[in-house]
A and B are shown apart, each in its own frame.
Chain A
Amino acid sequence: MRLLLVEDDASLAQELAGLLRRADFAVDICATAAEALEAGLSEPYDAAILDLGLPDGDGLDVLVAWRAQKSRLPVLILTARDRFANLVAGFRAGADDFLAKPFRNEEVVLRLMALIRRGAGGAQGPIVCGDLTLDAASGEMTMSGLPLKLTAFERRVLRYLLIRRPAVVSRTELSDHVYERDTDRDFNSIEVIVSRLRRKVAPCQIETVRGEGYRLDAGHGD
């Protein structure tokens, strides 16, 4: 899952990005409204965290501009402005959720996951694919109830496939959602990761749909 983090406070942006990366998100940081406006419209983010008080404008204006361009990017407003008027204005502008600073880390992650799953048409609760389970709250993945040992990048890839399931995910789409903006993208690495994941999640299957991409399947005829 790839996130756009719009936050002008460098310390908070770094801490929050670190937290989200540890929670297996790819995170791009924007510190200005102009930068955020452009990034939100040009990159295929799974969700955005939007601060309202930006040095060159109001975060709400960025959100309104995104919505005016028909962007359906799930947006979590994260702000120190916590009056009811701000809450109403945020949702009226098209926000999907609203969280006041300071926040609990787990709440940010939980709400982001809820937004992303809702955006993908999913329901609440753990994401299950056969014996494979992803706890949306903790981010923990288990196979038949036992913790699944995965690298951070493997978790990113597998979680994206899980959330997009049963859709077929192209390699381009996959790389768009697991790599950060300034990272070199390598399809071969993705091939390698997918191969390793196939062994780790069996009997769940990661099918290669020729000419289209990958699809996660529960196996056992699911």
Chain B
Amino acid sequence: MRAMETSRSLQRQVLTTLLLSIAGVMLVALVLSALLLRFTLQREFETRLRTTAQDLQATVTRGRDGAIDLGDFTPDMAFSERYSGWYWLVSDGNAVVARSRSLVAESLPIGGVGETRPMEGPRGESLVALALPVRGENDLSITVAGPKSAIDRALLNDLWIVVGSVVTLGLMLMLVVWSQVNRALRPLRHLAEDLGRLRTGVLDEVPPSRFSELNTVVTLVNGLLADSRNLVAHARDTAAKLAHGLKTPLAVLAARFGTGGANQDPKVTDAVDSMRRLIDQNLKMARAARASAAFSDIVPVRPVVEDLVFAFSHVFRERRLVADMDIPEDAAFRGNRDDLQEMLGNIIENAHAWAESRVRVSAGRNESGGLTIAVSDDGPGFPDSIVVAPAPDNSSSRADNAARPAQSNGLGLRITRDIAARYRGRLELANLTERGAIATLRLP
């Protein structure tokens, strides 16, 4: 079944959403921080104005002669710099009676006692001013002003710290999110890999996950798999039972209508032969289809070969064949014993059927650690038409037609090839230089 093709990625979607959200939160945090900073700076600015004004308010007096005495009022240096924007003045009604050095000879708009208010300075600059009355001197008032630009300068000076902090925090958060999303999706990727291995037959079932959320999926998949296997096994068993069940009635027909039977009829015998071939073919194909590398026992090769050679030495007893075996004790097949027996049975039977006098079975490990089992005979060899170099994927192997001169229909070799392919192995057929044939089974 083909997977639905989609360019959407869960990882990309989650990351995009989270990173954009973080960026948005960063932006909001930045704006709020800037506003807060500005508010704080403005409060600080106003406090400075008020402190200066209160200092002046506390020290300024009018002498008996009407002269204004500033007492020990000592404003900071900014009030001394010419047109610095930081100004103070003492007014008597509308007349200025004292002023800061920074005002030189200029004045400030007078009025609005008690609250800070914006105003324009002597040079047209924007100022914020605070006016306070001098206690006990009804006509006297104090005005202290500062440049509004001082707030903006301070804001600009401090804003980079805020921006730096928010951006650093945001980037760290993004990094954590990116790593956590990747980490969170890793079990999902492992699950996908396990499902892939399950499909190729390396795994028998999906292994449990360390995460409860995925274990639910694993349990469901394994349950579905078990159901599916049971269904297939049931169908195959039913087919096998049906096929087996048909063999006895067919044998009755063969006995009744065959040579020497009660009602000899070659047409019925031929039909029975056809049905037998069909049943054999389907049963064998079903066995090949059931072969699976997932059931990986360690099966020693030697006893399986010994059993088969023993059996075929009886089947072909009249031929008086000599069978040699060169199989190391430790040669083992990773898979199902029945599958190994089915693969070897076909090629060993084939060798016995066509050998003149000798059959040889050898096994060993190749350079890459794979198992190689070779079965050779000194018979007439395979027809040239089927001896081909097998493709790596076994697809062009002509074991389908692997018949020795006439007779055999090659089903056995085809079954061997099919089962080998299920184990990612292959069957190679070749003729020997002298006389005879060799069938080589290469298994991982």
Sample 15 A-B pairs with CB under 8 A, ordered by A number.
A11-B252, A15-B262, A23-B260, A84-B308, A88-B308, A95-B314, A96-B314, A101-B247, A102-B253, A102-B272, A102-B275, A105-B258, A105-B261, A106-B258, A106-B259
Q: Is A196 an interface residue (CB 8 A)?
A: no
Q: Mark A91-122, 1 if CB is under 8 A from B, else 0.
A: 11001111011111110010000100010000
How long is the Cα–Cα vector from A97 to B317 in the complex, in angstroms? 9
Closest Cβ neighbor of A108 among chain B residues: B255
Residue of A with least CB distance to B279:
A102
Interface flags, B379-409, vs A, CB<8A=1, else 0: 0000000000000000000000000000000
CB interface residues, B 285-326, toward A, < 8 Å: 287, 307-308, 310-311, 314-315, 317-318
Q: How far is the CA of A83 from the CA of B251 in the complex (A)?
A: 17
B345 near A: Cβ within 8 Å? yes
Query: Nearest A residue to B253 by beta-carbon distance?
Result: A102
Q: Kindly list chain B residues whose C-beta atoms are within 8 Å of the C-beta of A124.
A: 318
The interface residues of chain B lying within 8 Å CB-to-CB of A95 are 314
Within 8 A of B (CB), among A74-94: 80-85, 87-88, 90-92
Task: Decide yes or no: A84 and B255 within 8 Å by CB, A15-B262, A22-B260, A23-B260 being known contacts.
Answer: no
Q: Give the residues in chain B near A12, CB-CB below 8 Å.
A: 248, 251-252, 255
| Residue B280 at the chain A interface, CB threshold 8 Å | yes
For A90, the chain B residues whose CB sits under 8 A away are 311
**Interface residue B22 (Cβ < 8 Å from any Cβ of A):** no
- Asked if A19 CB lies within 8 Å of chain B CBs, one says yes
**B315 touches which of A15, A98, A105, A118 (Cβ 8 Å):** A98
User: What is the size category of the interface that chain A forms with chain B?
Assistant: 35 or more
| Neighbouring B residues of A101 by C-beta, 8 Å | 247-248, 250-251
Contact (Cβ within 8 A) A82 B280:
yes
Q: How far is the CA of A97 from the CA of B316 in the complex (A)?
A: 9
Say whether A44 faces chain B, with CB atoms less than 8 Å apart.
no
**How many residues of chain B have a CB within 8 Å of chain A?**
35
Is B234's CB within 8 Å of the partner chain A? no
Cα(A109)–Cα(B311), bound, Å:
21
Nearest Cβ distance between residue A207 and chain B, in whole angstroms? 32
Residues of A within 8 A of B256 (CB): 15
Query: How far apart are the CA atoms of A11 and B261 in the complex, in Å?
Result: 13
How many Å from the CB of B373 to the closest CB on chain A?
15
Q: Nearest chain A CB to B333's CB is how many angstroms away?
A: 15
Tell me whether B276 is interfacial, beta carbon within 8 Å.
Answer: yes
- Hey, what's the 0/1 contact readout for B105-130 against A, CB within 8 Å counting as 1? 00000000000000000000000000
Residues in A with CB closer than 8 Å to B261 are: 15, 18-19, 105
B254 within 8 A of A: yes
Q: Which of the residues A22, A81, A109 comes within 8 Å of B244, measured between beta carbons?
A: A81
Is the CB–CB distance between A92 and B252 below 8 Å?
A: no
Q: Min CB distance, B284 to chain A, in Å?
A: 9
**Interface presence of B158 (CB below 8 A):** no
Asked if A16 is an interface residue, CB under 8 A from chain B, the answer is yes
| Nearest-CB residue, chain B, relative to A21 | B260
For the complex of A and B, the 6 pairs showing the least CB-CB separation, nearest first, are A84-B345, A15-B255, A105-B258, A80-B247, A102-B250, A102-B251
Q: Does B338 contact A (CB under 8 A)?
A: yes
B315 x A92 contact (CB < 8 A): no
Is B248 a contact partner of A9 (Cβ separation < 8 A)? Answer: yes
In addition to A84-B342, A91-B311, 18 A-B residue pairs with Cβ atoms within 8 Å of each other are A11-B249, A11-B252, A15-B255, A15-B262, A19-B260, A22-B260, A83-B338, A85-B341, A87-B315, A88-B307, A88-B311, A90-B311, A98-B314, A98-B315, A101-B250, A102-B251, A103-B251, A105-B259
Closest to A8 in B: B248
Chain A residues with CB below 8 A from B252, complex form? 9, 11-12, 15
The CA of A27 and the CA of B272, in the complex, are separated in Å by 25
Residues of the A chain whose Cβ atoms lie less than 8 Å from the Cβ of B249? 11
- The docked-state distance in angstroms from the alpha carbon of A157 to that of B154 is 132
The distance in angstroms between the C-alpha atoms of A114 and B317, with both chains bound, is: 11
Kindly identify, within residues 142 to 169 of chain A, every residue whose CB is under 8 Å from any CB belonging to chain B.
none
Can you list, as one digit per residue, whether each of A161-199 has a CB less than 8 Å from chain B (1) or not (0)?
000000000000000000000000000000000000000
**Chain A's nearest CB lies how many Å from the CB of B303?**
10
Compute how far the CA of A80 lies from the CA of B244 in the bound complex, rounded to whole angstroms: 6
Instruction: Determine how close the nearest CB of chain B comes to the CB of A89; give it in whole angstroms.
Output: 9
Are A19 and B315 neighbours in the complex by a CB distance under 8 Å?
no
Contact yes or no, A102 B247, CB < 8 A: yes
Most buried by B among A80, A101, A114: A101
Q: Tell whether B440 is near chain A: CB-to-CB under 8 Å.
A: no
A100 to B244, CA, bound (A): 11
Report the separation of the CA atoms of residues A100 and B251 in the bound assembly, to the nearest whole angstrom. 9
In the complex, which residues of chain B have a beta carbon less than 8 angstroms from the beta carbon of A84?
308, 311, 341-342, 345
Closest CB of chain A to B97's CB: distance in Å? 124
Given contacts A84-B345, A92-B307, contact A104 B280 (CB under 8 A): no
Least CB distance, B20 to chain A, in whole angstroms: 64
Give the complex CA separation of A144 and B279 in angstroms.
45
Which of A12, A22, A92 lies at the interface centre, i.e. has the most chain B CB atoms within 10 A of its CB?
A12
Q: Which of A85, A98, A104 contacts B258 (CB under 8 A)? A: A104
CA gap between A12 and B246 in the complex, in Å: 12
